[in-house]
DNA sequence: ATCCGGGCCGATCCG
DNA sequence: CGGCCCGGAT
C-alpha cells in the first residue's frame, strides 16, 4: 500500500496530521472535523507506510464502542484482522495489562472487577462490620473519597502524611476498604489504572519492556483524561516514544469526574516541540446547525480557540417546541419520529438526547405505547440489573470461591433458609480466622456449629456451587451460564408469581446466555472463557436494552452522545435547572461545562435538530415550573423556527389597555419595555389571557416573571 | 426465616 | 415518585 492510498481521501490538515513525523502531536479537532478518521488513518499510516508492527502501537479511546469501531475501520483499510492490538479504553487496557502481569501487580490470578454498585455494597458491609453508622459517613461520600484519591494516585499512607485530623477516620476507612478488596481479590475501576502505574513504577524491567514495546501512543478524547490517566501515558511514553493526542477543549464534559482540560494546555509544555494541528472544517452538520453551536460555545471564556466552519448548505432552521409538560414533549417527539419514519427513513437515524437519565422514562413509556422500537443507552444497564448481577455472582463464586461479595449476594437467593443469624455467624468465623466466607462456611458445616436445619441449608448451598462447578468443567461458556441460571433456582425464583416484572427478569436471564454465546475471547490474555466473560460484563456494561438488530430509535444522555452523530436529533428538556443543571447554575466554570455539553448535543446533528422544553415538569412527583434554558437564548433568533409560537389573545377580559396592544400576538424573543425595569426580551410565558405570566430578561435587571395584566409592557 | 408495609431520603453525567 | 432500610407480625 502506498502513501497516497492512505491519505488521498483527506483534506490538507488531516493529511498533515496523519503523515506527521513529529514525535509529539496535538490535534485540536473540532466537532465533526473527522477526528476518528484521522486516528484511523494515522494507525494505517504507521503500519503501512512507516512499517511499524501493530504490537508496537497503543491506542486509547473513550468508550468500548469507539474502540470496537475503530478497530473495524482500521481492519477495513489494512484489509486484514488486527490480532493482539492494544486498543481500548484506559480501563480496558489496564485490565489487559493486569491480567498478564497479575503476579507483579500483587493480585490474585483470577481477580474480579467490581463496578460502582458493588463498591457501594462493599462499603456498606464494611461499615457494618466496623460498627459504624451510615450517618457519620454516607457510603456515597466514602466512595467518592476513595475514588477521588485513587484517581489522583493517592494511597491511604500517602494521605496520612500531612492529613487534617478530622480526615483520619475516613482515611482509615479507605485503608480498610483496600484491605477488603485485597482479601476478596477484587479490583474497582479506579484501582485498575492506579495499580498499573504502581506496578510499572516498582518494576523497572517491566517498565522498560513496555516503553520499548509501545513506540506509538495514540489517544482520543484527550480533553477528558484525568490526572492518573495522563500520568500513565507519560510513563509509557518515556523519553523517546511518540504521542499523538486528539481532542477538543470545547467538548470537555467530564470535569466532574476528574478530567482535566488543562492536560491539553500543558501538553505543549510537557513535550518539546509539539506540533499542533487544527482540524476546523466540519463535515457533519448544516451551516445553520453549526452557526447555532458556534454561537453558543462562543460565550465560554476559557477556550484554546478554534474556528469551525463548513461549506455545506444552510439546511433547515432549528425547530423549537414549547411543550406544556413532559408528556406533551414526548408526544411531540413521537409524532415527529413517526413523520420521519413514514417518509421512508430509518429509526436508527434519530436520537433523543437529554441531560439526565431519569428523563428517558416518559419517552420510553410513549415509545412502548406506540410500539416504536427503541434502545436506551446508559442508566441502569444490562449487566447492572439485579437478576443479572445475581447470576454473575454465581458465576464469580464458581470461578473464585473466596469472593465474599458474591457469596453474600447470593447465599440466600433464592431463599434457602440461610438467614441473618446464620450469615452473621459465618462472618464472625471468617473475621476471627481471617478466612473467606466460603472457607468459614465449610468450617462451620464440618464443626456442626449451627442448628441442624441451618447447617443443612448451608451445606446444600456449598454443595450446589461445587456441584455446578464440577458438572460444567470443560463445558462451553454458554453451557455454564445456562446451568447456573437453572440449577441455582434463579429462573424459578424470578419466574414465580408476585415478582415485580418477573417475566422481564426471566427473559433477561435468558439474554445472559445469549450474551455469553457472542463473546469472542481476547487473544493474548490467558483467561478462562468464564473469567473473560465476567470481566467483559463489568467493563462493558452495555446498553440497557437487550441487544437486538431491530431498527430502533436511540435514547441517551448528552454525555453518552459524545462522539456519535445522527441525521435527526431531539434535544429535550431545555429548561433552566434541568439543563443547565441546578447544581451548576451558580458556578461559572460548571456553567461553562454545561454549555459545552449543549455544544456537544447540537453538533451531533447532521441535518435536523429539534429543541424542546416543557413549561411544567414532574420531578420527584412534584410539579415544577421552569423557564426555557438560557442556551436557547444564546442561539441567534434567525436560526430558530418556533413550531408553536406564542399567540396570546389578551382581548378576552377586563384588561384595560388599547385594543391593538391587547390583541397583538406575542413571540418569544419579542422585545419589550417595562416602566420600571426598562428594556428586555420575552423568554417564556405560562397560561393564557391577562393572567398569563411571562418571563422577561431585562437588560439591566435580569430575568423576571410578570403577570401580563399588571406588567403594562410596551412591545417594540 | 420471611414477608410486608411504612418511613425516609434522594438523582447529573461514566467506565 | 420509587428504591432501600428497618421493624414488627407471622
In this complex, the answer to whether residue A499 has its CB under 7 A from any atom of chain B, a nucleic strand, is no
Q: What is the pLDDT of residue A346?
A: 96
Q: Straight-line distance from CA A505 to C1' B4, in Å?
A: 22
- Kindly indicate the confidence band of residue A521, based on its pLDDT and cuts at 50, 70 and 90: low
Question: Which candidate in A195, A375, A389, A604 is catalytic?
Answer: A604
Closest-CA residue to A370 (of A339, A321, A331): A331
Backbone φ and ψ of A31, nearest 5°: -60, 135
Q: What is the pLDDT of residue A12?
A: 94
Residues with CB under 7 A from strand C: A 124, 134, 620-621
Q: What is the pLDDT of residue A659?
A: 36
**Chain A residues 21 to 80 with C-beta below 7 Å from nucleic strand B:** 62-64
- Kindly indicate the confidence band of residue A278, based on its pLDDT and cuts at 50, 70 and 90: very high
From CA A204, how far away is CA A235, in angstroms rounded? Answer: 11
Residue A575 has pLDDT above 90, yes or no: yes
- Kindly indicate the confidence band of residue A165, based on its pLDDT and cuts at 50, 70 and 90: low
Of the candidate ranges A255-259, A262-266, A542-546, the one whose mean pLDDT is the lowest? A542-546
In this complex, the answer to whether residue A454 has its CB under 7 A from any atom of chain B, a nucleic strand, is yes
Q: What is the pLDDT of residue A83?
A: 78
- Kindly indicate the confidence band of residue A693, based on its pLDDT and cuts at 50, 70 and 90: low
Closest C1' nucleotide to A358's CA? B11
Closest-CA residue to A94 (of A179, A183, A197): A197
The pLDDT tens digits of the residues spanning A40-98 come to: 999 999 999 999 999 999 999 998 888 988 999 999 988 888 878 999 999 999 999 99
Closest-CA residue to A535 (of A553, A522, A548, A551): A522
Residue A223 has pLDDT above 60, yes or no: yes
In this complex, the answer to whether residue A117 has its CB under 7 A from any atom of chain B, a nucleic strand, is no
Q: What is the pLDDT of residue A668?
A: 60
Residue A688 has pLDDT above 60, yes or no: no
Residue A651 has pLDDT above 50, yes or no: no
* Nucleotides of strand B within 7 Å of the protein's CB atoms: 1-4, 10-15
Closest-CA residue to A224 (of A250, A194, A187): A250
Question: Which candidate in A35, A278, A389, A630 is catalytic?
Answer: A35
Q: Give the mean pLDDT of A400-416.
A: 88
Burial A77-112 (b: 16+ CB within 10 A, else e): bbeeebeebbbbbbbbbbbbbbbebbeebebbebbb
The pLDDT tens digits of the residues spanning A228-238 come to: 999 999 999 99
The pLDDT tens digits of the residues spanning A293-302 come to: 999 999 998 7
* Nucleotides of strand C within 7 Å of the protein's CB atoms: 1, 5-6
Q: Clarify whether A284 is annotated catalytic.
A: no
Q: Clarify whether A36 is annotated catalytic.
A: yes
The pLDDT tens digits of the residues spanning A433-462 come to: 989 999 999 999 998 888 888 888 899 999
Q: Clarify whether A691 is annotated catalytic.
A: no
Of the candidate ranges A34-48, A85-99, A356-370, A656-670, the one whose mean pLDDT is the lowest? A656-670
Q: Clarify whether A604 is annotated catalytic.
A: yes
Q: Straight-line distance from CA A89 to C1' B11, in Å?
A: 26
Q: Straight-line distance from CA A420 to C1' C7, in Å?
A: 14
Q: What is the pLDDT of residue A41?
A: 95
Q: Clarify whether A316 is annotated catalytic.
A: no
In this complex, the answer to whether residue A256 has its CB under 7 A from any atom of chain B, a nucleic strand, is yes
CA A589, A591, A597: angle at the middle one, nearest 5?
A: 110
Residue A144 has pLDDT above 80, yes or no: yes
Residue nearest to nucleotide B10 (CA to C1'): A620
- What share of chain A has pLDDT > 90, as a percent? 53
Q: Give the mean pLDDT of A213-218.
A: 96
DSSP E strands, A309-389: 318-325, 350-354, 374-376
Question: Which candidate in A229, A251, A545, A603 is catalytic?
Answer: A251
Q: Straight-line distance from CA A115 to C1' B11, in Å?
A: 18
Residue A322 has pLDDT above 90, yes or no: yes
Round the average pLDDT of chain A to a whole number and report it: 87
Residue A1 has pLDDT above 90, yes or no: no
Gap between the terminal Cα atoms of chain A: 66
- Kindly indicate the confidence band of residue A27, based on its pLDDT and cuts at 50, 70 and 90: very high
- Kindly indicate the confidence band of residue A715, based on its pLDDT and cuts at 50, 70 and 90: confident
Q: Straight-line distance from CA A363 to C1' B10, in Å?
A: 22
Closest C1' nucleotide to A618's CA? C1
Q: Give the mean pLDDT of A321-335.
A: 93
| Three cell numbers, residue A56 | 508496537
Q: What is the pLDDT of residue A545?
A: 67
From CA A513, how far away is CA A246, in angstroms rounded? Answer: 38
Residue A429 has pLDDT above 60, yes or no: yes
Cα–Cα distances (Å) from A123 to A116, A179, A404, A605, in that order, read: 10, 12, 13, 42
Q: Are A544 and A381 in contact (CB under 8 A)?
A: yes
From CA A550, how far away is CA A478, in angstroms rounded? Answer: 23
- Kindly indicate the confidence band of residue A354, based on its pLDDT and cuts at 50, 70 and 90: very high
Q: Straight-line distance from CA A216 to C1' B6, in Å?
A: 61
Q: Give the mean pLDDT of A194-214.
A: 96
Q: What is the pLDDT of residue A386?
A: 85
Q: What is the pLDDT of residue A28?
A: 95
Amino acid at each position: 500500500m502506498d502513501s497516497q492510498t492512505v491519505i488521498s481521501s483527506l483534506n490538507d490538515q488531516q493529511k498533515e496530521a496523519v503523515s506527521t513525523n513529529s514525535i509529539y502531536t496535538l490535534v485540536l479537532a473540532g466537532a465533526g472535523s473527522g477526528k476518528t478518521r484521522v486516528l484511523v488513518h494515522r494507525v494505517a499510516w504507521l503500519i503501512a507506510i512507516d512499517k511499524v508492527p501493530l504490537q508496537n502501537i497503543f491506542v486509547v479511546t473513550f468508550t468500548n464502542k469507539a474502540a470496537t469501531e475503530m478497530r473495524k475501520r482500521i481492519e477495513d483499510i489494512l484489509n486484514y484482522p488486527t490480532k493482539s492490538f492494544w486498543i481500548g479504553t484506559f480501563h480496558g487496557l489496564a485490565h489487559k495489562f493486569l491480567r498478564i502481569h497479575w503476579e507483579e501487580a500483587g493480585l490474585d490470578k483470577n481477580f474480579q472487577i467490581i463496578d460502582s454498585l458493588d463498591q457501594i455494597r462493599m462499603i456498606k458491609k464494611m461499615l457494618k462490620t466496623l460498627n459504624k453508622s451510615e450517618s457519620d459517613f454516607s457510603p456515597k461520600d466514602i466512595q467518592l473519597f476513595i475514588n477521588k484519591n485513587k484517581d489522583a494516585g493517592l494511597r491511604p499512607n500517602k494521605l496520612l502524611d500531612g492529613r487534617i485530623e478530622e480526615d483520619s477516620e475516613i482515611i482509615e476507612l479507605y485503608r480498610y476498604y483496600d484491605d477488603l478488596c485485597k482479601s476478596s481479590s477484587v479490583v474497582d475501576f479506579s484501582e485498575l489504572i492506579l495499580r498499573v502505574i504502581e506496578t510499572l513504577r516498582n518494576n523497572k524491567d517491566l517498565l522498560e519492556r513496555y516503553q520499548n514495546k509501545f513506540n506509538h501512543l495514540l489517544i482520543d478524547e484527550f480533553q477528558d483524561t484525568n490526572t492518573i490517566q495522563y500520568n500513565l501515558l507519560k510513563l509509557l511514553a518515556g523519553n523517546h516514544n511518540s504521542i499523538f493526542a486528539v481532542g477538543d477543549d470545547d467538548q470537555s464534559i467530564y470535569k466532574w469526574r476528574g478530567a482535566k482540560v488543562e492536560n491539553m494546555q500543558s501538553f505543549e509544555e510537557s513535550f518539546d516541540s509539539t506540533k499542533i494541528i487544527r482540524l476546523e472544517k466540519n463535515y457533519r452538520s448544516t451551516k445553520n446547525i453549526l452557526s447555532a453551536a458556534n454561537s453558543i460555545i462562543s460565550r465560554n471564556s476559557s477556550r484554546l480557540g478554534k474556528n469551525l466552519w463548513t461549506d455545506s448548505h444552510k439546511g433547515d432552521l432549528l425547530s423549537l417546541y414549547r411543550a406544556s409538560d413532559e408528556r406533551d414533549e414526548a408526544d411531540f417527539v413521537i409524532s415527529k419520529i413517526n413523520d420521519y419514519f413514514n417518509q421512508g427513513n430509518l429509526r436508527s437515524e434519530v436520537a433523543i438526547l437529554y441531560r439526565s437519565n431519569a428523563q428517558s422514562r416518559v419517552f420510553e413509556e410513549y415509545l412502548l405505547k406506540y410500539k416504536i422500537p427503541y434502545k436506551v443507552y446508559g442508566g441502569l444497564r444490562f449487566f447492572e440489573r439485579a437478576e443479572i448481577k445475581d447470576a454473575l455472582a454465581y458465576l464469580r463464586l464458581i470461578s473464585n470461591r473466596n469472593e465474599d461479595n458474591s457469596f453474600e449476594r447470593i447465599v440466600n437467593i433464592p431463599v434457602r433458609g440461610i438467614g441473618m443469624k446464620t450469615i452473621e455467624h459465618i462472618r464472625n468465623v471468617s473475621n476471627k480466622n481471617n478466612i473467606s466466607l466460603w472457607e468459614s462456611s465449610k468450617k462451620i458445616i464440618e464443626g456442626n456449629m449451627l442448628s441442624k436445619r441451618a447447617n443443612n441449608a448451608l451445606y446444600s448451598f456449598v454443595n450446589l456451587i461445587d456441584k455446578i462447578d464440577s458438572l460444567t468443567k470443560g463445558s462451553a461458556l454458554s453451557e455454564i451460564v445456562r446451568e447456573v441460571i437453572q440449577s441455582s433456582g434463579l429462573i424459578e425464583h424470578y419466574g414465580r408469581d408476585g415478582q415485580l416484572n418477573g417475566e422481564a427478569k426471566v427473559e433477561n436471564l435468558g439474554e445472559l446466555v445469549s450474551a455469553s454465546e457472542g463473546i469472542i475471547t481476547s487473544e493474548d490474555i490467558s483467561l478462562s472463557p468464564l473469567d473473560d466473560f465476567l470481566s467483559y460484563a463489568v467493563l462493558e456494561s452495555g446498553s440497557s436494552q437487550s441487544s437486538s438488530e431491530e431498527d430502533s430509535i436511540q435514547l441517551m444522555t448528552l454525555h453518552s452522545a459524545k462522539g456519535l452523530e445522527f441525521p435527526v436529533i431531539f434535544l429535550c428538556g431545555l429548561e433552566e435547572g434541568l439543563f443547565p443543571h441546578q447544581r451548576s447554575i451558580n458556578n461559572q466554570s460548571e456553567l461553562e461545562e454545561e454549555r459545552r455539553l449543549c455544544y456537544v448535543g447540537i453538533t451531533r446533528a447532521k441535518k435536523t435538530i429539534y429543541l424542546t422544553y416543557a413549561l411544567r415538569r414532574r420531578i420527584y412527583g412534584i410539579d415544577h415550573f421552569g423557564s426555557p434554558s438560557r442556551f436557547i437564548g444564546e442561539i441567534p433568533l434567525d436560526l430558530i423556527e418556533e413550531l408553536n409560537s406564542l399567540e396570546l389573545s389578551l382581548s378576552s377580559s377586563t384588561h384595560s389597555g388599547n385594543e391593538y396592544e391587547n390583541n397583538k400576538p406575542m413571540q418569544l424573543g419579542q422585545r419589550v419595555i417595562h416602566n420600571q425595569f426598562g428594556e428586555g426580551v420575552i423568554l417564556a410565558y405560562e397560561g393564557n389571557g391577562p393572567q398569563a405570566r411571562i418571563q422577561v430578561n431585562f437588560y439591566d435587571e435580569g430575568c423576571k416573571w410578570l403577570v401580563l395584566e399588571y406588567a403594562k409592557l410596551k412591545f417594540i
